[in-house]
């Protein structure tokens, strides 16, 4: 009428190595899902943020983590930037707190006079002029 405790324990012990794999399979699946849904996108965001900070230059309009909008006035060091948030009002901020670049400034293009001066130094300008005529 009653089942002995030894008989009930013996019935539960089965499976072997495949049973151990079945126990760890859900944990492995959870880790894979976390990697593709959380870890990988975060690493991608960090990479793009780092690239944005490396391409930062004077005149760029940026937003800080605190929501302050300003223009990069001066690059103090690798970690600090001076922002001009109003005319004559400059604030020194940590570079990593910049969250977004609103507008980029174009690099200054060399004028025709500067190009001609470079060419004259190398002797190309005179040779090109005589070749055209």
Kindly tell me the burial class for residue 61, based on how many C-beta atoms sit within 10 Å of its own C-beta (0-12, 13-18, 19 or more): middle
Per-residue pLDDT tens digits for 34-46 = 999 999 999 999 9
User: Is 131 domain-assigned?
Assistant: no
Domain carrying residue 31 = 16-54
Task: Return the CATH number at 62.
Answer: 2.30.30
Tally the domains of the chain.
2
pLDDT score at 125: 47
Q: What pLDDT score does 19 carry?
A: 78
- Helical H segments across the chain, by residue range: 5-12, 17-34, 40-54, 112-122, 124-132
**pLDDT under 70: residue ranges of the chain:** 1-16, 107-133
64 and 87 both lie in a single domain: yes
In the prediction, which pLDDT does 22 show?
Answer: 86
Number of Cβ within 10 Å of residue 73's Cβ equals 16
């Amino acid at each position: 009428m009653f089942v002995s405790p030894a008989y009930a324990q013996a019935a539960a012990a089965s499976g072997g190595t495949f049973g151990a794999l079945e126990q760890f399979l859900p944990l492995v699946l959870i880790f894979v899902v976390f990697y593709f849904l959380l870890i990988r996108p975060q690493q991608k965001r960090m990479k793009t943020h780092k690239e944005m900070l490396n391409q930062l230059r004077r005149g760029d309009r940026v937003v800080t983590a605190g929501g302050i909008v300003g223009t990069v006035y001066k690059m103090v060091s690798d970690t600090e930037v001076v922002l001009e948030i109003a005319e004559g009002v400059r604030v020194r901020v940590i570079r990593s707190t910049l969250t977004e670049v609103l507008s980029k400034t174009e690099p200054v293009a060399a004028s025709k006079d500067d190009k001609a001066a470079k060419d004259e130094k190398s002797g190309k300008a005179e040779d090109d002029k005589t070749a055209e005529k």
